[in-house]
Structure 1
């Protein structure tokens, strides 16, 4: 800190400016004692507001420091001239003849307000005498014209920010009071006192006097010692109108001009706040522009204490004024906080009903719920609006069964009101928790009914065009969209979810927008494009990560959609991680539908990892946990598909009847279920039935996952029926679609030697792509199709190629044509293969190759 003063006195003027108790005088006096050159010191008070007296004391201070010898020009000032011109001439010439860099400290310069003294100081500083170095200690910026010197870099300033105690200094001060504080406690003490020296001194004394029974959390501005200091040293020095302004506005944590004017019923809030911030360090500007301000923590405590003592009856009214200003400026949480402080219970309910309900689905949800918990139980049934508050808390607690009765009671009370204008907002708001509760238990028919009712009421209300109405519309559209998704109306669901995302964006409801977009991603992966699902889910998850909302309930759908996308991409580790994140987020407020999605993903992961027994455990758990009120046909059909996959993985060829038990009748089969039925038919060697089931194209949203699965199975069926080129052509189109969408899972779930052979033929016929090569390599690694095994049997690379065609219906001539060699060459390779495998004919060679893991 001394280095700041050492550097400062290289300039003509050094201002040490901070409020009372910041240690200004202590700092400068300690620094002065360390200097070898003398320092002249003058402590000023209000009686020094006279030019003759002021300059006489200045000369006395210089004399006392031994700076002015008897014959010095300044000696003529010992009898200070009454003539201003003569006095000015002597000052200018006298200070100019001082020894090099003479330091003159004027302490408590804020006491000087005489215009004549200030003018003569300004005259002196207009052309500062080269040897003179002024150090001005003041509680506020002095009324001196130092702008030119400041612009020229000739003024050094040491302010409260420079005087704040450091961690080490605070710890040392506490130690001096017999306190041994941990580093975290020192940090808390500094945060509470904001590094204010007097506050630290008084606070440490308070803690020490408590003999260990007091904590830093108890340290406040209304403690007797701190309150007395601030009242006597700070508040007492302010004019009555400023003091009243401070007392009244102390009810707020931060202030702007409009809020201050609303509270004080004055019109000078901006000027007063700027003057207070300029004149002391207990009013702090928030930001570069003078828009928002706050009071020092301990000062605000002291002010509120003074207000409660001097004008307790006014406190509630001041809070009411603040509440209404915040409400008018769409700051609902602050408005509610002040309404609660005023114990204005009806207005609390009114605020929640007209402005606060969307906060349930916002990042401010936790703060909103804590505010609602402050409503006394005996008030929670006094108005329909306060009943709504209690319903919100019931929803958060998961007590869905108690909600209908509370809503019915609120509607009964509303029916007794004659004023439609005051009744309508609450009628609309009551639909939101009803919708949320039905969503939580999975009653999607009820969700559609309630959300449609809310949308109809909003559409019929000509006045419903403000922010709250837009927020309500976004929430209602989101709920209806997701309910339409789960009830099997994907086109209508997509329309509502897109509209919900757009409305939420307009209303600045990011979490609702993320939820709608996440359900759009689920819709796409269930019955649309895997690639688009990935883009939508990634967008939501990236935004959630940036905002710190990774585990928000509103991100669950996006996490689960991402898990399903990764499953189709056959990146099982990534799918497991996305599922973990979604499950973590879901625990905050579980929904019946999303619980089924989570268990379905777990089951699908298990069956994809070839663990059908484990997959059945998840399916059994889903049946046990299913909510009795759940109505979600889309989920039911999806779970039946997973069960079919498990049956196939467990040996579907032996259970063809399971297809009829698990899947819907033919007349209601969607495309994905037709593909599943076709897989059962193929497993039962009913190739004609499998082909019939696959002879179908989706007519709704593009079902890329099912289309790829159908394409892979169709190629296998065509090959099994002897249509080798048809199989290759079908697989070529399928691989192109799969590569575009990143879909890989069907190639693994239906992997066998026939599919491997078709992929090899496709590659040999010019269909080679990085995607196909990677699929072939990974499928072989996972299913035992191994060139290494073949080489171990003594087969050459060309013989391995021929061997892969043997399970097909292709003739030797056709194989020769595909490989681009003569038929005799193929026959020679066949003889070598039979000999090396010990087979007599083609079918026997295939069986041996499969037995040995070559095919």
Structure 2
């Protein structure tokens, strides 16, 4: 089976695909049959590495290919740099009869590229794919399909990668049905990678299904490590999407006694935040540390840190983590992937929590489409900017029942309840509250209650007589609201904005009047209006407040 991650660019601590297959190989260790039918000692990793090094030096490509095909897992774990050197050294022309090895070579040598020329072409017709899944060529087809999918992931094309995964579903399903014993381990690995692909594209429902199948297939094949990782990946997806009860169950599927890695730890941190236990979440995040360079799951770590910063009332700490993370991974943080959605929504919330209403609204106004994460964050910003009608219109962009993502759905219900309450539409507010309570009971979500004023939660609970044990726990914990009661949003005219810029440069009024082609008295009138809006009483105070509100950056 071809390696499905490039170990030089992806955190090996998460590459359980390789360790899992190694478990299968380990069952065969101890001895092997030679071509005379005699049992011989299994070569050690050092023997294999030395033999491969020698074969490369001698340009003995067939021996090198044989060594890699027989020992790629050992090589990948013990000497990934040698494996990469070998993959790059073997001429592509030598691999025409080895499609799986060719796919692995592409993954090594073209990481960060979508160039898959030279790989075997897979049928596009679903029936042809199903037929292929029943043949001995299914193993190569699964490897090639997985490499095509992962190479799209490596360039940040998560939506395209998910589309490729969907196109290959007939092949995977057919191979699972017709060759479960022969292809058990490869199928578990491919399903695991498909689950990650769906997760990174934000398709959490598909990810959950695929990862659960990967978990079952891995257990059936004896791949303990892969089964554990599939459970942890699934736990992460459910924790982010907002099904906390399911996230806890998935965490429980991970075998005890195996040390956690960042995927499971991020899930644990998000679950702790839902338990209204920020100290526990902080301790877990401290253990994780910063994401490694180009770790595919970097955005989930940054998202968890942002949510933790909101929970402890330190939004600028969250912004610092977010800024660093996006700067280091800009090529994979783009529309169509969950990184862009989660972190855009997080920035809106962090700006809002930090009192930067203008900056939050600027980002909110740039939100287009019906992505549930960014839409609900934009709606919340408009709610706190005292634009309840705009908040309601934004919430109506999304078909919440089709999105199947409980967290943004619950957040939208609470925004709608607050917006209707602000407009005096108490019946509509009560209806949304009842729906929100149902979702809280089903999922175990609590933290979204802190994203609206606590007094609103208490008012709706008392007025409707509808509550849940979770709502009662939230109110008893006296969890503070994430956002200030009054988030200032200042809207200056173009002329006032121009005068503000000149003030920040230290220009005198006479010079400002000349630049604007108006009288000094007109400038003074506009200055008084601007002072009143920002709440300043002098040039220095007005400029300082404007900087804090983000007004000068907006220019």
Q: Is the 8 A contact 2:76 2:83 kept in 1?
A: no
Summarize the Cα distance change of 1:729–1:439 in structure 2 as closer, same or farther, 3 Å threshold: closer
Give the secondary-structure state (helix, strand or coil) at the position aligned to 1:615.
helix
Distance 2:386 2:348 in 1: 17
The total of aligned residue pairs comes to 439
Given candidates 630, 650, 662, the residue that maps to 2:354 is 650
2:260 is matched with which residue? 550
Say which is worse superposed, 380-389 or 742-751, in terms of deviation: 380-389
2:158 is matched with which residue? 444
Q: Is the 8 A contact 2:176 2:187 kept in 1?
A: no
Q: Is the 8 A contact 1:596 1:635 kept in 2?
A: yes
Please tell me whether residue 518 in structure 1 is matched to residue 518 in structure 2: no
**Residue 505 of structure 1: CA displacement?**
3.0
CA offsets per residue over residues 606-665 of structure 1, 9 Å max, x none? 12322222222223223312242666433212222112212321336556742543422x
CA offsets per residue over residues 448-469 of structure 1, 9 Å max, x none? 4776787777789999837563
Q: Which aligned pairs between 1:706-855 and structure 2 lie closer than 5 A? A: 706-722=408-424, 727=429, 730-731=432-433, 734-735=436-437, 737-759=439-461, 761=462, 771-779=470-478
2:253 is matched with which residue? 539
Unaligned runs of 5+ residues in structure 2 are 1-25, 121-134, 485-555
2:305 is matched with which residue? 602
Given candidates 340, 358, 365, the residue that maps to 1:636 is 340
Please tell me whether residue 470 in structure 1 is matched to residue 184 in structure 2: yes
Summarize the Cα distance change of 1:520–1:342 in structure 2 as closer, same or farther, 3 Å threshold: same
**Residue 683 of structure 1: CA displacement?**
1.7
Give the secondary-structure state (helix, strand or coil) at the position aligned to 1:779.
coil
Q: Is the 8 A contact 1:380 1:386 kept in 2?
A: no
Summarize the Cα distance change of 1:683–1:629 in structure 2 as closer, same or farther, 3 Å threshold: closer
Q: Which aligned pairs between 1:191-590 and structure 2 lie closer than 5 A? A: 322=40, 346=62, 349-350=65-66, 352-353=68-69, 359=73, 366-367=77-78, 383-384=94-95, 401=111, 429=143, 436=150, 438-444=152-158, 447-448=161-162, 465=179, 469-527=183-241, 529-540=243-254, 543=255, 545-546=256-257, 548-551=258-261, 556-582=262-288, 587=292
Please tell me whether residue 705 in structure 1 is matched to residue 407 in structure 2: yes
Distance 2:176 2:314 in 1: 58
Give the secondary-structure state (helix, strand or coil) at the position aligned to 2:478.
helix
Q: Is the 8 A contact 2:103 2:119 kept in 1?
A: no
Give the secondary-structure state (helix, strand or coil) at the position aligned to 1:638.
helix
Q: Is the 8 A contact 2:185 2:217 kept in 1?
A: yes
Distance 2:35 2:395 in 1: 77
Give the secondary-structure state (helix, strand or coil) at the position aligned to 1:610.
coil
Q: Which aligned pairs between 1:94-105 and structure 2 lie closer than 5 A? A: none
Summarize the Cα distance change of 1:386–1:612 in structure 2 as closer, same or farther, 3 Å threshold: same
Q: Is the 8 A contact 1:517 1:537 kept in 2?
A: yes
Distance 1:710 1:656 in 2: 17
Q: Is the 8 A contact 2:392 2:419 kept in 1?
A: yes
1:12 is matched with which residue? none
TM (norm. structure 1) is: 0.42
Summarize the Cα distance change of 1:457–1:335 in structure 2 as closer, same or farther, 3 Å threshold: farther
TM (norm. structure 2) is: 0.61
Q: Is the 8 A contact 1:383 1:410 kept in 2?
A: no
Summarize the Cα distance change of 1:663–1:563 in structure 2 as closer, same or farther, 3 Å threshold: farther
**Residue 597 of structure 1: CA displacement?**
2.1
Distance 2:402 2:44 in 1: 44
Distance 1:503 1:254 in 2: 17
Distance 2:174 2:456 in 1: 62
Give the secondary-structure state (helix, strand or coil) at the position aligned to 2:401.
coil
2:328 is matched with which residue? 625
2:386 is matched with which residue? 685
Give the secondary-structure state (helix, strand or coil) at the position aligned to 1:322.
strand
Q: Which aligned pairs between 1:62-211 and structure 2 lie closer than 5 A? A: none
Q: Is the 8 A contact 1:607 1:649 kept in 2?
A: yes
**Residue 423 of structure 1: CA displacement?**
9.6
**Residue 533 of structure 1: CA displacement?**
2.3
Q: Is the 8 A contact 2:349 2:381 kept in 1?
A: no
CA offsets per residue over residues 303-353 of structure 1, 9 Å max, x none? xxxxxxxxxxxxxxx7xx537xx7xxxx99899699879989846634643
Distance 1:690 1:656 in 2: 13
CA offsets per residue over residues 399-456 of structure 1, 9 Å max, x none? 7549989x86898xxxxxxxxx999977765665665555445443564477678777
Greater relative contact order, per chain length (Cα 8 Å cut-off, separation 6+): 2
Please tell me whether residue 663 in structure 1 is matched to residue 367 in structure 2: yes
Distance 1:784 1:410 in 2: 52
CA offsets per residue over residues 345-387 of structure 1, 9 Å max, x none? 846634643x655x48xxx962585995998998898953999
Q: Which aligned pairs between 1:11-90 and structure 2 lie closer than 5 A? A: none
**Residue 598 of structure 1: CA displacement?**
1.6
Q: Is the 8 A contact 2:204 2:238 kept in 1?
A: no
Summarize the Cα distance change of 1:630–1:474 in structure 2 as closer, same or farther, 3 Å threshold: farther
For the pair shown, the structure with the greater C-alpha radius of gyration is: 1
Summarize the Cα distance change of 1:609–1:471 in structure 2 as closer, same or farther, 3 Å threshold: same
Distance 2:383 2:402 in 1: 26
Unaligned runs of 5+ residues in structure 1 are 1-252, 267-317, 412-420, 786-855
Distance 2:460 2:167 in 1: 55
